Amino acid sequence: MANTHRSTSLGTALRYRGREGMWTWILHRVTGLGILLFLLIHVVDTALVIYWPGLYEHALNIYKSAFFRFAELAIVFSVLYHALNGLRIVVQDFWPGAMLRQRQLVWAVAVLVVLTILPVAWLMLRPVFGLGPEPGAARFEAASAGTETTVQAPAHAAAGVRL
Amino acid sequence: MSARGAARRGGGYDRPSPRGNFELWSWFFMRISGVLLMFLALYHLLWWNLIVGVHHLSADMVRERWTNPFWRLFNVALISFAMLHGLNGARYSIEDYVRSPGARTAVKTVVYTLVLASLAIGVYALLTFNPDIPRIR
């Protein structure tokens, strides 16, 4: 049945004990294809910004939903993993000595990804659970306060108030 | 059938035989673009997700950033390398999993069209952007 194309069934594939090499390879593919799918959507919606900003705001409202925050974290994880695992592949390709240590390098990538994604997940998810401010809130408020000052200053001046 | 053609048809299930040095250049491109994208894509994610914050985004904020040609060229580089890197990666997967020649051609046609159309729309928007363009709400 499934052997028409010399392919293996999913069960056989999962029983195959390729250890670290197999799992990093599978995850590299899945994250890569996932990033490409999001990229297609993201480039088109951002392109709307020049002619149809109103439509872009509509797309933004989806991105600002709590559900999408989890998707954004998944995208950040995918890019981070794909980048570091890809760097490992490049290093192993160009530096044969590293190939002999590939198993250690896999674990180094895993540790780096976990150590990086944990604080990022905390910063991105805590506003969803009401545990902290949105990322960039302080910067945004500082910018808005700056705008208010410049708007209010002429009002004071017009009223003859000396500051 | 030429000897080369016969040799090509020999194996059966492997990826299509390399055309010239295409697969070598493909391998090389994946590494060069991959290392560049580490900086371009990770900076992009850091900036919009953590420093600006998606919650504070608006069309005006993006338009303001795009008034600087540097950031538009940055984005042209980011989407060009990302799309071509992703397209070549998708090609690897298609050639691995879609075995019948007809289906392979069909899937490749759809994927290549979607990715290249999206890239074209993105580059067009970035290169023709002008803050004075009247808005169509």
What are A10-36's pLDDT values in tens digits? 677 667 777 888 889 999 999 999 999
Most B CBs within 10 Å, among A36, A77, A78, A128, to test the B interface = A36
Mark yes or no for CB contact B41/A79 under 8 Å. Answer: yes
Whether B35 is in a domain gets the answer yes
Give the separation between CA A127 and CA A131, rounded to whole angstroms: 6
| Residue A18 main-chain phi, psi, to 5 deg | -85, 0
Shortest distance, CA B4 to any CA of chain A (angstroms): 24
- Inform me whether the pLDDT recorded for B6 exceeds 90: no
> pTM surpassing 0.80?
yes
Mark yes or no for CB contact B31/A60 under 8 Å. Answer: no
Give the separation between CA A39 and CA A2, rounded to whole angstroms: 33
Whether B67 is in a domain gets the answer yes
Instruction: Tell me the C-alpha to C-alpha distance, in Å, between residue A124 and each of B39, B52, B90.
Output: 21, 12, 29
Instruction: Tell me the C-alpha to C-alpha distance, in Å, between residue B94 and each of A19, A134, B15, B89, B105.
Output: 24, 40, 10, 9, 10
Please tell me which of the candidates A53, A86, A140 has its beta carbon nearest to residue B34: A86
When divided into structural domains, chain B yields a total of 1
Looking at residue A38, what is its pLDDT?
96
Q: Which of A46, A52, A108, A57 is nearest to B82 (CA)?
A: A46
ipTM of the complex: 0.84
CB pairs under 8 A between A and B: 141
Give the separation between CA A28 and CA A30, rounded to whole angstroms: 6
Shortest distance, CA B113 to any CA of chain A (angstroms): 11
Residue B39, token pair as written in the block: 């900086």
Looking at residue A79, what is its pLDDT?
98
Mark yes or no for CB contact A139/B93 under 8 Å. Answer: no
Residues B75-120: tens digit of each pLDDT = 999 999 999 999 999 999 999 999 899 999 999 999 999 999 999 9
Q: Which residues of B touch A69 (CB under 8 A)?
A: 54
- Crossing angle for the helix pair A53-63 and B59-66, to the nearest 10 degrees: 120
Please tell me which of the candidates B45, B128, B133 has its beta carbon nearest to residue A79: B45
Looking at residue A5, what is its pLDDT?
54
Looking at residue A7, what is its pLDDT?
59
CATH of the domain at B124: 1.20.1300
Mark yes or no for CB contact A136/B50 under 8 Å. Answer: yes
Range of the structural domain that residue B62 is part of:
19-128
- Averaged pLDDT score across all residues of chain B: 87
| Residue A141 main-chain phi, psi, to 5 deg | -65, -40
| Positions in chain A short of pLDDT 70 | 1-10, 13-14, 146-163
Most A CBs within 10 Å, among B56, B63, B78, B114, to test the A interface = B56
Whether B14 is in a domain gets the answer no
Whether B101 is in a domain gets the answer yes
Whether B37 is in a domain gets the answer yes
CATH assignment, A2-132: 1.20.1300.10
- Residues A89, A30 contacting (CB under 8 angstroms): no
Whether B111 is in a domain gets the answer yes
More confident residue, A121 or B5: A121
